[in-house]
Amino acid sequence: MGRPDRHGARVRQAEDRDLPVRLAAGTVIDAHLEKGRGPVATVLVQSGTLRIGDNLVVGHIFGKVRALLDDRGRKMKEAGPATPAVVTGLPDVPTAGDVFQVVSSEKVARTIASQRAEQYRVATLAQTRRVTLADLSAQVGKGAVKDLNLVLKADSNGSVEALKGSLLKIQDPQVQIKVVFEGVGPVTESDILLAAVSNALVIAFNVKPDQQAQKAAEREKVDIRNYDVVYNVTNDIERAIKGLYEPTFVQVWEGRAEVLTPIKIPKLGVIAGSRVQDGKITSGSTAKLLRDNKPIHEGQIAGLKRFKDDVKEVVAGLECGIRIDGYQDFLQGDVIESYQVKQA
């Protein structure tokens, strides 16, 4: 029989496809934690030659091959194609079916493992639903919620204490309210990351999230609740706990642009040649058109153009053409503000 196809389906998944022949790649057959040895993986080499001391990447795990054993437990110096081998030296237990690959250095191994870990985190996050008041209300009715974790940020120590005191007075046999963090000042990125790991709601009282926090909240899918009256906070929480909460929808500000000149486009009509001053303008968002600081029209942003290209968003400092449904009478100096309608 000839050598196994080194470009088989599993090996194709390896990032370093131009590796020298001697650098091994293959598949994890089995893996477990063994007392006295730590993580142990049985692998099948499918290409190249696996040697003691090789830098190994398996999934999002990387390590150095410390020992190679055959199926009888005897030490091996190397394992060639079509050879099963027991490997020690990995810091964690990999998953059976994972592709392994040998790379040229620990630095390369660390980089590949880090990239894979981030891809896994993003994919997992996309499937994870963070707690929101609407979700809480629905889950309470099913008896699926026991704790409601909160991160509290307010404009003063007095506000923090008043808010915390009012929230902790809420009594319910099914749900226990826990304040995992409290502080004074705007909501920051670290507040969002804490909320993410503790699956908490962020209560912002008379303060707003900074730009980095807003981006982190969108990325981590953390719900930030903005309030300026203590009663509204406690009322929303109480109604959610009792399963009576009815979600409302709010407009979340995205960005602001100034109209430089109206531009007539064949078949499209007149669009607003503009410069984005703050934030970003996004196609599909709601636009408010202001003239002399007074709103004169509201409609959906039907399209954005950069030069001749259609784009999805334009950030601060760039110029673009903005098309708004149902409106063409733009004037120089008009202001366009972009909003996303989201559940409060």
Tens-digit pLDDT profile for residues 275-327: 999 999 999 999 999 999 899 999 999 999 998 889 999 999 999 999 999 89
Q: In angstroms, how far apart are the furthest CA atoms of the chain?
A: 84
For range 43-71, the mean pLDDT:
93
Specify which residues 286 forms β-bridges with.
Answer: 300, 339
- Residue 136 near residue 94 (C-beta atoms within 8 A): no
Task: Tell me if 21-126 shares its fold with 251-343.
Answer: yes
Sequence-distant (6+) residues with CB within 8 A of 197 are none
CATH 3.60.10.10 fits 251-343, yes or no: no
Distances (CA, A) of 284 to 147, 306, 311, 336: 37, 16, 11, 14
Amino acid letter for position 150: L
Run of H or E residues at 32: strand 25-34
Taking residue 215's Cβ as centre, other Cβ atoms within 10 Å add up to 13
Question: Which token pair is 229?
Answer: 């009256």
**133-247, what's its fold?**
Rossmann fold (3.40.50)
**Pairs from 11-14 (Cβ < 8 Å, separation ≥ 24):** 11/46, 11/47, 11/99, 13/99, 14/99, 14/101
pLDDT band at residue 176 using 50, 70 and 90 as cut-offs: confident
Nearest to 8 by CA among 41, 48, 42, 56: 48
Question: Which token pair is 265?
Answer: 């486009």
pLDDT digits (tens, 9 = 90+) for 253-282: 899 999 999 999 888 889 999 999 999 999
- Residue 248 near residue 237 (C-beta atoms within 8 A): no
Taking residue 116's Cβ as centre, other Cβ atoms within 10 Å add up to 17
Q: Look at residue 242 in the predicted model and tell me its pLDDT.
A: 74
pLDDT band at residue 29 using 50, 70 and 90 as cut-offs: very high
pTM of the complete model? 0.41
Distances (CA, A) of 22 to 2, 16, 53, 75: 17, 13, 13, 20
Domain ranges of the chain: 21-126, 133-247, 251-343
pLDDT digits (tens, 9 = 90+) for 82-106: 999 999 999 988 888 899 999 999 9
CATH homologous superfamily for the domain 21-126: Translation factors (2.40.30.10)
Does residue 9 surpass a pLDDT of 80? no
For range 187-201, the mean pLDDT:
89
